[in-house]
Structure 1
Amino acid sequence: MAESKREILKKKILDAAEKRIESQGLAALRARDITKDAGCALGSLYNAFEDLDLLILAVNSRTLARLHVSLQNAPASQETPKEKLLALALAYLDFGTKNRNLWAALFDHRMQPGVPVPQWHLEEHAVLIAEIIAPLSQLNPQLDDDTLAARARTVFSAVHGIVKLSLEGRFVALDPDAVQAELSAFMSQYLQGYQPG
C-alpha cells in the first residue's frame, strides 16, 4: 500500500528535524529551518505534527528505538549478570558518544509549561530501565519489584551522570580517554556487593 502524501510529508519533516538535531543540537532547532530542509511550507509542519514539541518527541522516539537496539545487542555474548550490566553501561557510553546531539535531546527537551509528556513517550523511556532490571534481578532475586526498579534507576542515574558530564566536558568531567575505563571501574566497584543469584 502506497504511503499517503501526508505520511510522506510527515516523514520528510521528521527526517529534516532529526538531521538538524544531529548536526546542530536541540537548542538550534527552528521550525523554519526544518521546513526549508524538508522542502515544504511552514504551515505543513503543523499539519503533520501538532506542534514542535511533538515533532521533537517523534525524533526522540527514533533515538530511543536505536538506543534500545544498542542496549539489547550489548550483552548478547555476556554470560554473567555483572558482565551484562557492565556491557550495558559501556554500550550506553558508546551510543552517547556516537550520537551526542540526538542522545542529549532525549534528556534536554522540555514540554511547554503545564503540558505533560505523553504517556506513550514515558513508556518508551522505560526501556532504559527495563534492560537493567533483568540482570539486577538475577543478582538479587529476593528483591521485590519496587526495590528492583529503584535500584535499576539508581544504576541508570549513576551511569548517565558519568556519561553526561563527560560528554559535555563539564569541569568535573573525566578526561575523554579515561571515561570507558573509569565507567568500567565504577560498575565493577558498585557490583562487588552483589552476590550471584
Structure 2
Amino acid sequence: MAGKREEKREDLKARLIEAARNRIASEGLANLRAREITQDAGCALGGLYTAFADLDELVIHVNSSTLAALEHSLEETAGPIDGPVDTLRHLARGYLAFAVANRNLWRALFEHQRQSTPDWHLAEHLFLIGLIAEPLKQLQPSLSDEARFIRARTLFGAVHGVISISLEGRFVGLPLEVLEQEIDDFVGLIARGARA
C-alpha cells in the first residue's frame, strides 16, 4: 500500500515539474503561478504542497532538470576537439547555444532566489565549473586545485556575463549575430594567456 502511495506521489511530482518547466519556458519565472501549474498538471492546488514544500522547492527541481539538460547538451554537441583551448571554446559555444535555445529556463537558473538552497542542488551547478577546470589543468598544470577552481569560476562568470547582458538586450550587450564569434575569440584569448 505504501509503495502505491509513493508511486502516485512520484507521478504527481513529475507532472508538476513538467508543468512548471513548460510554464517557465513559455512565460518566464516571474509569471509562474501555483494555480496554473496545478491546473496544467491535472491536480488540485493542494497537490503541489503534497509533493513539494512550496513553489520554491518546485522551481529548484525544474532548475535541476534544466542543469541536467544543459549537461547533456554540452556532452552531445561535442565534435572533434583539438586540445584544451578548443575544449574551452566548445564549452562556451555550447553554453551560448543552450542559453539562446532555452532562454527562460536558463534565466530561471540565475533568477530564482531562495534563502537556503539545498546542498544537492548547489552541487549540481558545479558540473559546469568542473568542465572548465579540466582544460585549465592542461593549460596551467602548476595551479593548485583551489586556484584552478577559482579561475574556472572567473572564466564562467565572464562568459556568462557577456551572454546574459547580450540576451537581455542591455546597451553594452552584443547583437546575437556577432555574440558567438566574440565569445569564441574572448575564450581563445584567455586560454592562450593562461597557457603563456
TM over 0.5: yes
Answering whether residue 29 of structure 2 is matched by residue 17 of structure 1, we say: no
Q: Distance in 2 between matches of 1:72 and 1:91?
A: 9
Find 1:47's aligned residue among 35, 50, 62: 50
Answering whether residue 121 of structure 2 is matched by residue 86 of structure 1, we say: no
Q: Distance in 2 between matches of 1:39 and 1:98?
A: 28
User: How far does residue 76 in structure 1 lie from its aligned partner after superposition?
Assistant: 5.0
Q: Between Structure 1 and Structure 2, how many residues are aligned?
A: 193
Structure with higher helix content: 2
Whichever residue aligns with residue 7 of structure 1, its letter is: E
Whichever residue aligns with residue 119 of structure 1, its letter is: D
Larger mean CA deviation between 186-195 and 26-35 belongs to 186-195
RMSD over aligned Cα atoms: 1.5
Larger mean CA deviation between 7-16 and 41-50 belongs to 7-16
Find 1:97's aligned residue among 81, 100, 104: 100
Q: How does 1:1-197 map to 2 (within 5 A)?
A: 4-111=7-114, 115-195=115-195
Conserved 8 A contact 1:132-1:152: yes
| Per-residue CA distance 1:138-186 (angstroms, 9 max, x = gap) | 1111100111001000110010001111111111110111101111111
Unaligned 5+ segments in structure 1 are: none
3-state DSSP of counterpart to 2:35: helix
User: How far does residue 35 in structure 1 lie from its aligned partner after superposition?
Assistant: 0.6
Whichever residue aligns with residue 116 of structure 1, its letter is: S
Whichever residue aligns with residue 148 of structure 1, its letter is: R
Conserved 8 A contact 1:72-1:131: no
TM-score w.r.t. the length of structure 2 is: 0.94
3-state DSSP of counterpart to 1:50: coil
3-state DSSP of counterpart to 2:195: coil
Q: Distance in 2 between matches of 1:95 and 1:51?
A: 28
User: How far does residue 71 in structure 1 lie from its aligned partner after superposition?
Assistant: 2.2
TM-score w.r.t. the length of structure 1 is: 0.93
User: How far does residue 194 in structure 1 lie from its aligned partner after superposition?
Assistant: 2.7
Conserved 8 A contact 1:71-1:131: no
| Per-residue CA distance 1:30-70 (angstroms, 9 max, x = gap) | 00010111111100000011111110000000000111122
Larger mean CA deviation between 21-30 and 65-74 belongs to 65-74
3-state DSSP of counterpart to 1:169: coil
Whichever residue aligns with residue 167 of structure 1, its letter is: L
User: How far does residue 79 in structure 1 lie from its aligned partner after superposition?
Assistant: 2.1
